[in-house]
Amino acid sequence: MDVIVVGAGPTGLFLASELALRGVPVTVLERLEEPDPTIKSGSINVASAEILDRRGLLPAAEEVQRRRLAEAGTFTGGRSNRTVRELTDAAGRASRRFPVLGHFAGIMFRHDLVDQDDPVLAAHTAVANGILVPQHDLELLLGEHCAKLGVEIRRGVEVRGLRSTGSGLDDDADVVVETDAGDFAAGWVVAADGGRSVIRKRLGVDFAGTGPEMVGYQAIADFEDASELRRGWNWTPRGIYTYGPVPGRVLVARFAPRPEDKDAPVTLEELQSAVRDVTGIPVTITRLRGRATRWSDNARQASTYRRGRVFLAGDAAHVHSPFSAQGLNLGLGDAVNLGWKLAATIQGHAPAGLLDTYHSERHPIGAWVLDWTRAQVALMRGDERTAQLRKVVGDELFAVPGATDRMVALSSGILQRYDVADDTTAPVGSIAGDVDLKSGTRLADHAHDGLFVLVDRSADGRYADAVGGREERIVHVSDPDASQPSLFVRPDGIIAWADASADQARKLLDIAIQRWVG
């Protein structure tokens, strides 16, 4: 096999699909017999929705969102409910509005405080109707995508270790993945096997960070009487909880030690005790619908994302509290960054050092997310002084013009930026977002095959010959428009060149193509 991906979560599945899209044989090994139905992340952010959009998966995500909003509507029972109303408004009855979803430390982002004309937000509105995609639905969606591309997913296979066919895992030899179903040899291995990654431990990669302060639970449950549970996010002296917006969904986090047996299934009694402790309401849970999730704010990051021919991605590379689904989105960002780089290397046309940019680009993003989640946990503490600080942040700072715009943009992942060129003129290094073309198409429509895209806005098509000999890797799109810059966009949606600096535009384009395409 060319590549073995360990783990069939969203990160592993999307990475496998990226490799298959470029014709690289890939096999996914997963210990679970079926996709995990346990309730986890409730949505994806805008950056992740744009990843799906660039691969033609936005319609499927939009269908999931329509279904989820219908379920949320039934939760209100016909009553006016602020949380559901904000979700519906944010998702965009008008398709080209920025979706204002999410929260910071339980402080919900208010759509009435967001300036929809803000140029940063306005450049990322096309996916507004495709972000309410829970993790389980996303895994099913990506599983179908992989099946269409011919990816082999072998379930019920538990990975136990790996070894090199050479002198060590740091050298350039093939790798053998050891499982309970036998050994599998491959040229490359990607560990997307979660926070307790067997592969990362076998590699001996340092996983430094901060220990947990809280333990949290998430489940869909039946209650004898849930009338006293308040909708939305609620802080208490013992922690924080939210009820809804889908029927029976409860998330509760308390500042307390985790159980000694962290792997033990969450029982009805354990969940009920946590809910009662945090809410102060003597609710009775009569049934768990599916498995409940237990998690913490343990925040750690791998010191390196690569060891020889083995890579770490998703939770195998970084863990933190799950607030705002940052882990899911961070993992998809890893996958879309690594996929095309690894494919180009395997196919022999990658420029020198390309694979090293996976760590150099993604590790700083991971470190930022860990700090972002730590800050939220700090603001959730139940003491009186933290409550006062939370009030200042929510009532005063968020009300400052532009403050909520900034927080929403950060939470949505659209402000990620890489050092990709000597020319640092905006928008080079940023995510392309919405790029509408005069033909009536969008840039994303030309990125479904995972290729580079050169949007040539010149009147005479002057940049077409820059593609020379790379037509199988670069899509040239002629779109004469003197009012907009030409763009060269990587397969992961990052703008690697723009002709804003006209004096050296062609020279800088050639440099960008040589640097990233080879």
The pLDDT tens digits of the residues spanning 186-196 come to: 999 999 999 99
230 three-class SS: coil
218-245 pLDDT, tens digit each: 999 999 999 999 988 999 999 999 998 7
The span from the CA of 286 to the CA of 283, in Å, is: 10
Q: Say whether pLDDT at 451 is over 50.
A: yes
What phi, psi does 303 have (nearest 5°)?
Answer: -70, -25
**Predicted confidence band of residue 74 (pLDDT cuts 50, 70, 90):** low
- Type of residue at 305: Y
**Confidence band for 343, pLDDT divided at 50, 70 and 90:** very high
395-402: Cβ within 8 A, 24+ apart? 398/107, 398/110, 398/113, 399/113, 401/115, 402/115, 402/118
User: How far apart (Å, rounded) are the C-alpha atoms in residues 267 and 265?
Assistant: 6
Strands 452-456 and 474-478 come out as parallel
Predicted local distance difference test score (pLDDT) of residue 172: 79
The pLDDT of residue 93 is 45
Confidence at residue 327, expressed as pLDDT on a 0 to 100 scale: 87
Could you tell me which of 338, 325, 330 has the C-alpha nearest to residue 17? 338
Coil, strand, or helix at residue 444?
helix
pLDDT at 87: 52
Predicted local confidence at residue 503, as pLDDT: 73
Asked if pLDDT for residue 85 goes beyond 70, the answer is no
Residue 23 DSSP label: T
Task: Check whether 501 has a pLDDT greater than 80.
Answer: no
pLDDT digits (tens, 9 = 90+) for 158-209: 999 999 888 777 777 889 999 999 999 999 999 999 999 999 999 999 999 9
At residue 423 the predicted structure's pLDDT band, cuts being 50, 70 and 90, is confident
Q: Report the pLDDT value the prediction gives residue 78, as an integer from 0 to 100.
A: 44
Categorize the per-residue pLDDT at 94 as very low, low, confident or very high, splitting at 50, 70 and 90.
very low
Q: Are 219 and 34 in contact (CB under 8 A)?
A: no
Please state, in angstroms and rounded to a whole number, the distance separating the CA atoms of residues 238 and 256. Answer: 9
Amino acid at 479: D
Whole-number average pLDDT of the chain: 91
Residue among 210, 9, 240 at smallest CA distance from 103: 240
Tens digit of pLDDT for each residue in 26-61?
A: 999 999 999 988 888 889 999 999 999 999 999 999
Residue with tokens 């929403």: 408
The answer to whether the beta carbons of residues 359 and 306 sit under 8 Å apart is yes
Mean pLDDT in residue range 315-329: 90
Confidence of residue 79 (pLDDT cuts 50, 70, 90): very low
Residue 425 has pLDDT above 90, yes or no: no
- 17 by DSSP, 3-state: which? helix
Rounded-to-integer distance, Cα 492 and Cα 512, Å:
15
pLDDT value for 502: 67
Beta-carbon count within 10 A of 311 CB:
27
Both structure tokens of 311:
């890579």
List, in sequence order, every residue forming a beta bridge with 477; answer none if it has no partner. Answer: 455
